[in-house]
Each structure stands twice: as C-alpha cells, then as structure tokens.
C-alpha cells in the first residue's frame, strides 16, 4: 500500500517565484490497485510520481509504503519496491549495452548492492524466457545493443525489466507519449498483462484521455496540485470519453 498524507511541494520556496506543485495532497493506493492519473500541464502529476519514487522530497507531509515511513529515503533506497517506466523510451535503458546487460543492471535493483550479479547461463535462460513472452523475437537477439531497438521495443523490454524480480510497485510516467499508435497500444497491452499477472500496484500518468478511459480500475484528476476527482469501480467503468473531455472545458 502507498499512503500519502498532507503532501505539499514548493519549488523556489519563500521566493517571489515560488511554485506550488502539490498542496496538502493525500492519497491511498491499495495493494494491487491500478490507478490512472490525468490533469493539465502543471497540475502536479509528475511531481507526485517523483515524490513516490523518492526523486523529489516533499516540502511537508508523509510518504509511506507498506506501512513504512519512506519520506526521507532517497530514490535508490526505494528501488527494491519501486520500478519506473519513463515517457522517453531512451531514458530508462543503457543504449550502449546489450539487451542482456540491460537486464543484468535491472536485476541489481532488487539485489544487495554489495553483490555482483553475473550473466551466467541460468540468468541468460531466465532473460530469454522472459523476453519470449513479447512475441517480438528479441529473445534471440540478447547481444544486440539496446540503442539499436525501436522506442516501442525498448518500452516493452523496460516493462519486463521492471517485473523480473521482486519489486511490486510500477510507476508509468506517460509510457506511450513518444510512441506511434501501434507501438503505444502494444506497450499498454503488455503493461496491463504484467500488472494483472504479477498483481502489481500500478500508477500511470497519461495525457491521452482514451487511454485513461480504457485502462486502470481507478481514475483521479489533479488540478493545481489538488485532487479534483477520484472515481473507481462502476463510476470509472461508466465514464465516456466525452465525460473526460468535459472535465477540461
């Protein structure tokens, strides 16, 4: 479970140009819940994800994961629980390393940092079997450089790297924004499959209202750092695309 209590985040705090990204924001995300977040630019969506991930520290308030106060824990200390897929498919991977070496680096995320994880035969078999589920034929190209793959292929592999080990929280930061429609649909299909199969707690930011309507079991809208709407269950299912468009008119 992720619990945010009275989170505020100010940039340039106390200065003339102070920006309030979040203001007394509280949110509870249950284990296994799939939450989608929408909002205009500057509404606080990415700041919220950064605070959950530990990339930003709140100006005030408390963040807890599984009942543990992690407010002051930096990003790398939260990595055993949290994996993140970024908007830019080239941001979450190392382009000059092979597919196999990228999976090796990802596996270190949930390992003790004083351990060295090698790419032995058992690890290669595990990676190959994991990648085969994509149906892209990449399991036979483990030595290929990640930088030579398409954006959609890299996002799909990033998703697999996120779930290969013991992390149980997946943060999706506009994962399809830089992809063509076909690749975007493929990445979302893979994400939904993995979230369901591994019972992940997932939070997805999107500007695509159709994606927001069709994915996740809960939808919230942020506006100027505050929670404006929070719909789940039958309320979420009943939403039409036109309903969502109307929220921004």
Q: Per-block average pLDDT, block size 10, for the chain (249 residues)?
A: 96 82 96 97 95 96 96 91 90 90 82 57 91 91 94 93 84 93 93 94 96 97 96 96 94
Angle at 174 (CA atoms; ends 178, 205), nearest 5 degrees: 160
Please say whether the beta carbons of 201 and 2 come within 8 A.
yes
Phi, psi at residue 134, to the nearest 5°? -75, -25
Coil, strand or helix at 160: helix
Q: What is the pLDDT of residue 236?
A: 96
Measured between alpha carbons, how far is 211 from 214 in angstroms, rounded to an integer?
A: 5
> Which domains, and CATH codes, for the chain?
2-247 (3.40.50.300)
Report the pLDDT value the prediction gives residue 43, as an integer from 0 to 100: 95
What is the distance between the alpha carbons of residues 226 and 206, in angstroms, rounded to a whole number?
Answer: 17
- Token pair 């509280």 is found at 26
Helix axes 151-163, 99-107, angle to 10 degrees: 30
pLDDT at position 117: 56
Edge-to-edge strands, sheet with 218-223: 82-85, 169-173, 201-205, 34-39, 218-223, 226-232
CB-based contacts of 88: which residues, under 8 Å, 6+ apart? 178
> pLDDT at position 14, please?
72
Residue 58 contacts residue 8 (beta carbons within 8 Å): yes
Q: So what's the pLDDT on residue 113?
A: 47
- Residue 111: its pLDDT value, please? 59
pLDDT of residue 118: 62
Other CB atoms within 10 A of residue 160 CB: 18
CB 43 within 8 A of CB 227: no
């Amino acid at each position: 479970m992720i619990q945010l209590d009275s989170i505020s985040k100010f940039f340039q705090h106390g200065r003339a140009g102070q920006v309030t990204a979040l203001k007394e924001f509280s949110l509870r995300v249950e284990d296994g819940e799939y939450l989608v977040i929408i909002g205009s630019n500057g509404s606080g969506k990415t700041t919220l994800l950064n605070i959950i991930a530990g990339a930003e520290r709140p100006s005030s308030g408390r963040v807890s994961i599984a009942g543990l106060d992690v407010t002051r824990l930096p990003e790398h200390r939260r990595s055993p629980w949290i994996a993140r897929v970024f908007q830019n498919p080239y941001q979450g991977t190392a382009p000059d390393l092979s597919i196999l070496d990228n999976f090796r680096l990802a596996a270190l995320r949930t390992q003790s940092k004083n351990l060295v994880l090698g790419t032995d035969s058992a690890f290669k078999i595990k990676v190959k079997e994991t990648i085969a589920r994509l149906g892209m034929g990449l399991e036979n190209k483990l030595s290929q450089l990640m930088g030579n793959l398409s954006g959609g292929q890299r996002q799909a592999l990033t998703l697999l790297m996120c779930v290969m080990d013991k992390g149980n929280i997946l943060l999706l930061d506009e994962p399809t924004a830089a992809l063509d429609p076909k690749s975007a649909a493929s990445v979302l299909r893979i994400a939904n499959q993995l979230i369901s199969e591994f019972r992940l707690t997932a939070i997805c930011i999107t500007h695509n209202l159709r994606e927001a309507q069709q994915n996740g079991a809960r939808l919230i809208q942020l506006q100027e750092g505050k929670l404006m709407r929070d719909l789940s269950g039958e309320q979420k299912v009943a939403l039409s695309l036109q309903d969502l468009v109307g929220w921004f008119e």
